Structure 1
Amino acid sequence: MQSSPAMAGREAGGGPAPAPACVLGIDLGTTSVKAALLEGTERGLVVAGSCSRETQAYTSSLEAGPQGMEQSVRRIIKALNECLAALPQQQLQRVTHIGISGQMHGIVFWKKDKGCKWTEGGTGPTFEPEEVSHLITWQDGRCSPAFLSSLPLPQSHISLATGFGCATAFWYLKKSPDFLKSYDAAGTIHDYVVAMLCDLKKPLMSVQNAASWGYFNCTNKSWNTDILEKSGFPVHLLPEVGDPGSIAGTTVCAWHGIPKGAKVGVALGDFQCSVYSCLTEKTDAVLNISTSAQLTISMPLGFQPPETPDPSSAVTYFPYFSGDYLAVAASLNGGNVLAAFVDMVAQWTEELGLQVQESAIYSKIINAALAQNDSKLSVHPTLFGERHSPEQLASVTNIAVSDLSLGHITRALCRGVVENLCSMLPVPRLLETGVRRVLGSGSALARNQVLRQEVERVFPFPVVYGKDVDAAVGAAMVMVHRK
């Protein structure tokens, strides 16, 4: 890991060295916000402070109904402000660079001149959202397969899917055009934060986030403007695009004690930053199971993705850093499937006139599954479909009377989550690319021993945990290595 330039034992004159500079990393995730401070020491980079807050930002969608998945930007920024207020003020005052990542694919709209208002808070100036829409997230389901098939084909290696920013904008164009007239800027939630911090007159988006929106050509780093304009798409809402790791601007005023003029990087994909925080060898595969699930390998130097998308392919090539790509099996079914199962059990117990906390249910079903070494049940857990097969439903087969306990069902469900991901990027392909070990990460994997057991059963490689996969730390590391 590269050391911070601020590291110095003592000045040439023999006096005490100045306090080392700090780098702030922020991740605006699907369910929580995290901030991490990195500081240079004689031992290298260390995390000098971190904080996370649940956003509790989900809200109803007036236009899309139950298919819509939207979040309140105000609640997200509130959680961000709480995180920063909890970090050590002494280190915040030494921040020179800020790296920001967040949940990909989603879109938020705002007014350029009225996107936020700056106010004085307890730890210094901060901003509050003003004329801003809800965030329509990557989980949004308003764009049906029929609707997507009515849209022009993109000139991109990535297939269009519901929850992608450009698909959502098309939906508003066709279903609620007056909505778009209220705004003159758009971006991901993390693009919005960068634009507010730097007072950008035109939003700036990294190649990583642009690719996640659809209608973006990674080879020539440009939007499919000709294709979009012919369909009446509001191309004026599309952000400018910069390279991952580049500087978007500087803070226009002090922010929670961070000095005015701190450099802010162009917003990055949370997925890429998570990988960046742990991937040190090209022979490693990264397995992440959080809300969703991903299995990732590095592509060889010089790899270029195909020119046209393959809608049936379960593997997507994500732009990484310095022109490199990751091959990613990105499943929509991970910890959210287990959460849905717990919710179902809680609902059943309530219908039976019992009251059990969901946290208690989770621990009990995991303990029950640990008592069962195996289960003949076969669970195909695609409760939320998959991007390459959006209409796919979940199923349970091979049901026998002997395997109906909560323990058997929970173990089969955990195995199904892992096997589903492995079917998207099979073991033979991992072997072909020289994978030697799997780095296991993610909140669902960390808290679920049964899931870890099934990972070790499915993959014929050593599985290493505790690699501190962390998008906020990764975003900060990018800024350290590129400043």
Structure 2
Amino acid sequence: MAVSVSGAAGFVLGMDLGTSSVKVVLLDALSKTVTDSRSFPTNSDISSTSDIHAKEQDPALIIAALNQCMDALPKDKLKKVKRIGVCGQMHGIVLWKSKSGSEWLSEDDNTRFIPKDISQLVTWQDGRCSADFLSSLPKPDSHLSVATGFGCATVFWYMKHRPEYLSGFSDAGTIHDYVVSMLCNLDKCVMTGQNAASWGYFNTTTNKWNTQILKDAGFPVHLLPVVVESGAVAGHTSSEWYGIPAHTAVGAALGDFQCSVYSCMTDEGDAVLNMSTSAQLTFSMPAEFTPPNSPDPLSPVAYFPYLHGSYLAVAASLNGGNVMATFVRMLDSWMKEFGLEVNESRIYSQLIQSALAQPNTDLTMTATLLGERHDPISRASVSQISPSNLSLGHVTRALCRGVIENMATMMPPQSLKATGVKCIIGSGSALSCNTVLQQEVERVFPFPVVYGKNVDSAVGVAMVFNDLR
């Protein structure tokens, strides 16, 4: 069942449990505007002394950050919350015991829960599943490949290296699925196809787990969540929570990427280019689109389940603002070797100023400094070097051009046109503060480009549960 509060007075609470911080917003259900927003860092990373590839977080610290956010919201508005939407970091997995995964406490006029009988969160950044290990796993019935950091891959890793560990838990989900389960006191974790697809071994066409394939491999399928429609109500709050009344509808958790897109994609003809540390270019596929039957690991474009059975075509690059940041750090390091101290923000500012004064260049730069998921061995390179194009302006212009041209290589402008894209929404910190990157976007992609509508997953999930019927 999908939900709607359109036309109803009150607020929708949107929550995003991210990799480094938690953010909550209150969306006015009638005006569809954000009235309040709070964010706190989780500081939840756990250092592993036994495995440098392990990336885990402490759920208690994540929930503590969520509690900080909730405590900072206006109490009078929380009492008028009609729906709760939750999203968060995808792919990762946390395990808990059904009905005892948290303990409810009441103090200072607030009722809240704290984690109990719960594992550490193995995040999407976990690198313990090597290429050899992944190749030993059964082939999934899915159009998406299985990678390290994916929930099902992590369970397979535990099966091989710590099989006794899994026997202590009855449920599993993403960290945001866990929050929904605790708020609603669910007997069994529920999960949307958006998050299930991010775990691997899930067929988005049938909306079902690869249960038989997993059973044949000895996988503990009782840990798999029950899959529900994206936009469905998972349950209702079992208790008052920070003033939000008991029996308030809680949506099944959604993926943070899909919610970030929803927060700024206002038209079917929009594509969203988000560039912060990394970069993503995405657009909504036509309603009749169905993904291929099997994954293509060499393709730079993946298809993520979205809403109403639709898909997002996504070119996710590992190279975005981090490339420019690396260049800045390199210059800073060089200058320190000469005994010079220059603030990095001043270096950045000067690079932009120099490149703006150099509107074109024949210097060519391939900016895949960190490789790409579909081509992990690719690296950056510079060509067409001459004595006349070695200024800061030329080099910075070529670097910014290379970053954008890499995106165009992954998702060519002609493919955008062929699917009906008419406008690009430009967002993200790297793009919003770099006029040179903006110029290169407008040069490479022959579409109107709109800036200033930054993606926000917490806002997006609130909008979803305010708009869906």
* Shared fold, TM over 0.5: yes
Separation in 2, partners of 1:360, 1:331:
27
2:200 matches 1:211: no
| Residues 4 and 39, structure 1, Cα contact 8 Å, conserved in 2 | no
Decide whether the 8 Å contact of 1:70 with 1:136 is kept in 2.
Answer: yes
Task: Please give the alpha-carbon distance, in whole angstroms, between the structure 2 residues aligned to 1:107 and 1:332.
Answer: 22
Tell me if structure 2 keeps the 8 A contact 1:161–1:387: no
Amino acid at match of 1:26: M
> Distance between the aligned counterparts of 2:81 and 2:392, measured in 1?
50
Deviation of 1:118 after TM superposition, in Å, equals 2.5
Following TM superposition, by how much is the alpha carbon of 1:63 offset from its aligned partner in structure 2, in angstroms?
A: 5.0
8 Å CA contact retained: 2:264, 2:453: yes
Q: Deviations over 1:393-420 (max 9, x none)?
A: 4444445555555555444333333222
Note the C-alpha offset of 1:323: 1.0
CA–CA separation in structure 1 for the residues paired with 2:84 and 2:164: 36
Deviations 1:21-62 (A, max 9, x none): 111111122333221111134xx3221211223333333234
The alpha-carbon deviation at position 317 of structure 1 amounts to 1.2
Given that 1:6 and 1:21 are in contact with CA atoms closer than 8 Å, whether structure 2 keeps it comes out as no
Distance 1:112 1:481, change over 3 A: same
Q: Aligned AA for 1:148?
A: L
Alpha-carbon deviation of 1:353? 6.3
**How far apart in 2 are the matches of 1:394 and 1:63?**
33
Q: 2:10 aligns with which of 12, 15, 21?
A: 21
Residues 318, 92 of structure 1: alpha-carbon distance in 2 compared, 3 angstrom cutoff = same
The structure-2 alpha-carbon separation of the partners of 1:64 and 1:203, relative to structure 1 and needing over 3 Å to count, comes to: farther
Is residue 475 of structure 1 aligned with residue 461 of structure 2? yes
1:97 counterpart letter in structure 2: R
**Percentage of matched positions with identical amino acids:** 58
Q: Counterpart of 1:31 in structure 2: which amino acid?
A: S
Answer with 132-141 or 403-412: which moved more. Answer: 403-412
Amino acid at match of 2:320: G
- What residue is the counterpart of 1:319 in the other structure? 305
- Residues in 2 aligned to 1:361 and 1:432: alpha-carbon distance in whole angstroms: 40
Higher relative contact order (CA 8 A, sep 6+): 2
- Residue 45 of structure 1 aligns to a residue in which SS? coil
1:105-124 Cα deviation digits (max 9, x unpaired): 22223333443332335561
User: Within 2, Cα distance between the matches of 1:339 and 1:80?
Assistant: 30
The amino acid across from 2:449 in the alignment is V
Give the one of 16, 28, 37 matched to 1:39.
28
Residues 343 and 126 from structure 1, CA distance in 2 versus in 1: closer, same or farther, beyond 3 angstroms? Answer: farther
> 1:145·1:390 contact (CA, 8 Å) conserved in 2?
no
- Equivalent residue in structure 2 for 1:201, among 187, 192, 200: 187
Does the 8 Å contact 2:367/2:402 carry over to 1? yes
Map of 1:59 onto structure 2: 46
Cα separation, partners in 2 of 1:360 and 1:233, compared to 1, 3 Å: farther
User: Residue in 1 aligned with 2:209?
Assistant: 223
1:249 to 235, 259, 262: 235
- Structure-2 residue corresponding to 1:49: 36
Deviation of 1:367 after TM superposition, in Å, equals 4.4
Q: Which residue of 2 aligns with 1:105?
A: 91
1:146 aligns with 2:135: no
> Which of 283, 289, 292 is residue 303 of structure 1 equivalent to?
289
Report the more deviating stretch, 466-475 or 247-256: 466-475
Residue 379 and residue 181 in structure 1: after superposition, are their counterparts in 2 closer, same or farther (change >3 A)? farther
Matches within 5 A, 1:133-282: 133-282=119-268
Greater displacement, 365-374 / 436-445: 365-374
Q: AA paired with 1:257?
A: G
> What RMSD over aligned residues (CA atoms) do the two structures have, in Å?
2.7
Q: Of the candidates 354, 365, 371, which is equivalent to residue 385 of structure 1?
A: 371
Q: Is the 8 A contact 1:3 1:45 kept in 2?
A: no
Structure 2: which 5+ residue stretches go unaligned? none
CA shift for structure 1 position 365: 4.4
Partner Cα distance (1:370, 1:241) in 2: 51
Match of 2:74 among 66, 88, 91: 88
Q: Which amino acid aligns with 2:37?
A: S
Question: Aligned-pair distance for 1:148?
Answer: 1.8
Moved more, 437-446 or 352-361: 352-361
Report deviation, 1:268: 0.4
Q: Which amino acid aligns with 2:57?
A: Q
Q: Residue in 2 aligned with 1:30?
A: 19
Between 334-343 and 205-214, the greater mean CA deviation after superposition: 334-343
Q: TM-score, normalised by structure 2?
A: 0.90
Query: What is the distance in 2 between the residues matched to 1:418 and 1:121?
Result: 52
Does the residue aligned with 1:460 lie in a helix, a strand or coil?
coil
Check conservation: 1:427, 1:459, Cα contact below 8 A.
yes
Whole-angstrom CA distance in 2 between matches of 1:356 and 1:165: 44
Within the candidate set 440, 445, 468, 1:459 is matched to 445
Q: Which moved more, 1:29-38 or 1:432-441?
A: 29-38
Retained in 2: the 8 A contact 1:287–1:441?
yes
Moved more, 375-384 or 324-333: 375-384
Letter in 2 for 1:193: V
Whichever residue aligns with residue 229 of structure 2, its letter is: D
Distance (whole Å) between structure 2 residues aligned to residue 216 and residue 416 of structure 1: 35
When residues 369 and 169 of structure 1 are mapped into structure 2, their CA distance, relative to the original with a 3 A threshold, is: farther
Q: CA deviation at 1:197?
A: 1.3
Once the two structures are TM-superposed, the CA of residue 371 in structure 1 deviates from its matched residue by 4.5
User: CA–CA distance in 2 between the matches of 1:229 and 1:101?
Assistant: 29
CA distance in 2, matches of 1:108, 1:204: 13
TM-superposed CA distance for 1:4, in Å, is: 4.4
CA pair 196-135 structure 1, distance change in 2 beyond 3 A? same
Aligned equivalents of 1:71 and 1:415: distance in 2?
Answer: 37
The residue number in structure 2 matching 1:10 is none
Cα deviation for residue 100 of structure 1 reads 0.8
Q: Give the corresponding residue for 1:16.
A: none
**Quick one: which of 426, 444, 448 aligns to 1:440?**
426
Residues 99-152 of structure 1 deviation map (CA, whole Å, 9 limit, x = unaligned):
111122222233334433323355612222334333333233333322222211
Letter in 1 for 2:202: F
What SS does the aligned partner of 2:29 have?
A: strand
Q: What is the rounded CA distance, in whole Å, between the counterparts of 1:419 and 1:321 in structure 2?
A: 30
